[in-house]
Amino acid sequence: MLALHLRKYLLIVLSALWVFNCSHIGIQSKQEEPSSDFIPDCRKNYTKEGGLISGSVYKTWVKYDHLEFKKGFDLVIRTLQYQGH
């Protein structure tokens, strides 16, 4: 009798954990490529630096030709919003 109740409780707990994980992780869809030409490709300048003691540091950079400060700042804000930050 105790084993039957234990199995029921275990099933309920595992089901609750499964629902909890699915609700927080969600279904991850395929990431679409940005449709805007304003978002540059930072992957070509991507570097990894550092070591075991200092840790890894990831860097990238993009060069914007003839870009005003206000337009560049607005572009950064739009890019961060597009990425969900």
Strand, helix or coil for residue 59: strand
In the chain, what are the domain boundaries?
2-28+35-82
Residue 41's closest CA among 79, 81, 85? 79
Per residue of the chain (85 residues), what is the pLDDT tens digit? 777 788 888 888 888 887 777 766 655 555 555 555 566 677 777 888 877 787 888 888 777 677 688 877 888 888 888 888 7
- Cα four-point dihedral sign 49, 53, 54, 56: positive
